[in-house]
Amino acid sequence: MPALTTTSDGFLLHGEPFRIISGALHYFRVHPDLWSDRLRKARLMGLNTVETYIPWNHHQPDPDGPLVLDGLLDLPRFLGLARDEGLHMLLRPGPFICAEWDGGGLPDWLTGDPDIRLRSSDPRFTGAVDRYFDLLLPALRPHLAAAGGPVIAVQVENEYGAYGDDSAYLKHLADAFRSRGVEELLFTCDQADPEHLASGTLPGVLAASTFGSRVEQSLARLREHRREGPLFCAEFWIGWFDHWGGPHHVRDAADAAADLDRLLSAGASVNLYMFHGGTNFGFTNGANHKHAYTPTITSYDYDAALTECGDPGPKYHAFREVIARHASVPDEPVPAPGPKLPPTEVELSGRAALMPLAGAPVRADVPLTMDALGQRTGYALYRTTLPAGGDGLLHFAGGVGDRALVFVDGAPAGVLERERHDETLPVRVPRPGATLEVLVENMGGVNYGPRIGAPKGLLGPVSFDGTALRDWDCHPLPLDDLDAVPFAPAGETAVTVPAFHRGTFEVDAPADAFLALPGWTKGQAWVNGFHLGRYWNRGPQRTLYVPGPVLRPGSNELVLLELHGTTAARAQLTDTPDLGPENTW
Ligand code: GLA
């Protein structure tokens, strides 16, 4: 008997009436030293439950390797901390999670095989899922309510009705949980649309919905689909995510709180998406691709109740007030904003060229995709010789995945972007036999819709003025280890782009900070080896979040990879985030 059961219009927990008042918090988007702080703040806002996805691609990077469960991925520790805080947990293990996460959480070793029908009952897909669940479930079982843990429900797939209608696949997943000892309540979640609900739900499995507004209408649609059972909004969108080049989306706190009040007044259960968004650290962000490719930014602030750095924002206070009208909230002080580092300037006086760090090449007649090179995130460098000189057109058949910097004899010659559907670039070649280099950046794997798993790198043959270019050296450049970067004082190195820049700064008491890079163009940032993520002056975000725990008392190191060029040799750590011009929805 599961701990959480359903009645004709609600939930019982251990036999007592219960309403889920939950908020989403992705452990993999928050520094692990800050998990307990965020969970405590969830409880203090009045939440009784926290929800998280589980990103398959990071937990199982190698199909034959063990499950990765440490650092940012130490899910058992996160679940233990939630239990210590007295919170229940909802788990959403996918296998597909969407979530603006690279590839929607599907591993590249799976999506790289074009023959596999993803998210279907194709045995090549379900077989891989089964092997993953064989590893995952033993790690989760001690944390299920049946074993005294905090997990009271588990989601099957994610908004499947927006993607497919293979109910045998959904049934396979539900059976996969049951046969591996999950007794807890199972649920599906789908957008509040009759067709989505029809395709994405399963008999005997609770149907929940996702929406951000039109509360009564959305609940009515869910009720039309299921005449009985609890009404549960499994994702109540209280903010939204941002794309590079777009605005910073915000939602008025009073408007979101009024809708939360409507939901709770209707007797529904809710999971706020997001309670705390966190950050797409490193190369973890996803992308959308409807008519054009649009990658998600580094911040996943989401205009959530807790800001990216974990401070209570306007919604925290507004939601706490609403929740107090419907349930008891802890009689404890509302948390104050955390301390911030005093503004600090960082002089970046060390330099190292990027290109020499490219790994050993694979020789190929036509460029290999990054996937074929066995590398999914980061960059790849392609090098060949241009047989003829003069003005001409480079043609990249199939475009680039996702942004390519072109160099002729080491000089920047232009940029191609998947976002703009670029396939050609006019270049001037100074001499026959000039070297062509193409540095391609993976800007994030599509996480929604049919283009999940779209390849990265150079995507097809390249020609110059109609002549096919052959004999490519294809170098992986994953940038997963910077220890070997041979920094030298700026004055002793030739000015090259792209280049690494290094500086040190002193810290008295570690605290959260925000890295501002005025004068810099586009690249990556690391503090003390922790990969903060991508920066880009295209915006909207103008600062990157630096979690306090990555800093240490004394000397600290900032490394930037700048792809284009900089007018400054310094960076700033500020005490205020700047996520760019706002657009209210
Ligand atoms: C859907 C998905 C989530 C997320 C949101 C948008 O609801 O289920 O994973 O992508 O959209 O943030």
At 248 the pLDDT is: 98
Mean pLDDT of 423-429: 98
Ligand 1 atom with the shortest distance to the CA of 191: 7
Atom from ligand 1 closest to the CA of residue 97 = 9
CATH 2.60.120.260: does it fit domain 344-353+498-584?
yes
Q: Is the Cα dihedral 143, 144, 149, 151 positive or negative?
A: positive
Whose Cα sits closest to atom 9 in ligand 1?
99
Distances (CA, A) of 219 to 18, 160, 237, 295, 388: 18, 19, 14, 32, 66
Substitution candidate for ligand 1 out of 92, 273, 294, 303 with most atoms within 8 A of CB:
273
Tens-place pLDDT, residues 160-183: 999 999 999 999 999 999 999 999
Distance of CA 87 to the CA centre of its chain: 24
How would you classify the pairing of strands 88-92 and 513-516?
unpaired
Q: How does pLDDT run across 66-87, given as a tens digit for each residue?
A: 999 999 999 999 999 999 999 9
> What is the whole-number distance in angstroms between the Cα of residue 512 and the centre of ligand 1?
28
Task: For a ligand 1 pocket test, name from 54, 98, 189, 303 the mutation site with the most ligand atoms within 8 angstroms of its C-beta.
Answer: 98
The string of pLDDT tens digits covering residues 444-486 is 999 999 999 999 999 999 999 999 999 999 999 999 989 989 9
Compute the distance from residue 99 Cα to the ligand 1 centre, in Å.
Answer: 5
- pLDDT given for residue 490 in this prediction: 83
pLDDT of residue 208 exceeding 90, the answer is yes
Mutate to test the pocket of ligand 1, among 28, 211, 235 (most ligand atoms within 8 A of CB): 235
Report d(CA 287, CA 93) in Å as an integer. 20
DSSP assignments along 193-218, one per residue = -HHHHHHH--TTSEEEEEESS-HHHH
* Token pair 């590079």 in the structure block, residue: 244
Burial of 151 (0-12, 13-18, 19+ CB in 10 A): buried
User: Looking at per-residue confidence, does 495 or 282 come out higher?
Assistant: 282
Note if 159 is an active site residue.
yes
With the most atoms of ligand 1 within 8 angstroms of its CB, the residue from 91, 159, 191, 297 to mutate is: 159
Rounded to a whole number, what is the distance in angstroms from the first to the last CA of the chain? 43
Q: What are the pLDDT digits (tens) for 537-546? A: 999 999 999 9
For 346-358, how does the pLDDT look when each residue is reduced to its tens digit (9 = 90+)?
999 999 999 988 8
CA distance 182 to 134: 12
Tokens representing residue 256 in the block? 């979101």
| pLDDT tens track for 386-412 | 999 999 999 999 999 999 999 999 999
- Kindly name the residue from 85, 157, 159, 437 that is annotated as catalytic: 159
How high is the pLDDT of residue 212? 98
Closest to 351 (Cα-Cα) out of 542, 186, 229, 501: 501
Q: How many CB atoms lie within 10 A of CB 378?
A: 18
CA 557 to CA 572: how far, in whole Å?
13
pLDDT tens for 225-269 read: 999 999 999 999 999 999 999 999 999 999 999 999 999 999 999
193: tokens are: 């649309």
Architecture label for domain 355-477: Sandwich (2.60)
Q: How far is the CA of 87 from the centre of ligand 1 (A)?
A: 23
Task: Give the pLDDT of residue 21.
Answer: 99
* Residue 585, pLDDT above cutoff 90: no
Ligand 1 centroid to 178 CA: how many Å? 25
Looking at residue 495, what is its pLDDT? 72
Does this chain's domain 20-324 share its CATH topology with 344-353+498-584?
no
Instruction: Give percent above pLDDT 90 in the chain.
Output: 96
Q: How far is ligand 1, taken at its centre, from the CA of residue 224, in Å?
A: 23
Token pair listed for 448: 């929604």
For 403, residues 6+ apart whose C-beta sits below 8 A from its C-beta are 415, 416, 417, 418, 419, 440, 441, 443
Q: Which residues line ligand 1 (CB under 6 A)?
A: 98-100, 158-159, 210, 235, 241
Does the annotation mark 347 as catalytic?
no
Q: What is the pLDDT of residue 122?
A: 98
Query: Atom of ligand 1 at shortest distance to CA of 158?
Result: 8
User: What integer pLDDT is reported at residue 8 of this predicted model?
Assistant: 97
Atom of ligand 1 nearest to the CA of 274: 12
Residue nearest to atom 6 of ligand 1 (CA): 99
Question: Looking at the DSSP assignment, which residues form a beta bridge with residue 151?
Answer: 89, 144
The DSSP H or E segment spanning 32 is none
Using pLDDT thresholds of 50, 70 and 90, give the confidence band for residue 372: very high
Strand, helix or coil at 121? Answer: coil
Into which CATH architecture does domain 20-324 fall? Answer: Alpha-Beta Barrel (3.20)
**For residue 98, how far is its CA from the centre of ligand 1 (angstroms)?**
6
pLDDT the model gives residue 221? 98
DSSP 466-492: TEEP--EEEEEE-----TT---EEGGG
Residue whose CA is at the smallest distance from ligand 1 atom 5:
99
Is residue 344 predicted with pLDDT exceeding 90? yes
Mean pLDDT to the nearest integer, 310-314: 98
The mean pLDDT value for 44-49 works out to: 98
Average pLDDT, the chain: 97
pLDDT tier for residue 45 given thresholds of 50, 70 and 90 = very high
Nearest CA to ligand 1 atom 10: 99
Domain ranges within the chain, ordered by starting residue = 20-324, 344-353+498-584, 355-477
Ligand 1 mean position, distance from CA 583 (Å): 19
pLDDT band at 432 (very low <50, low <70, confident <90, very high): very high
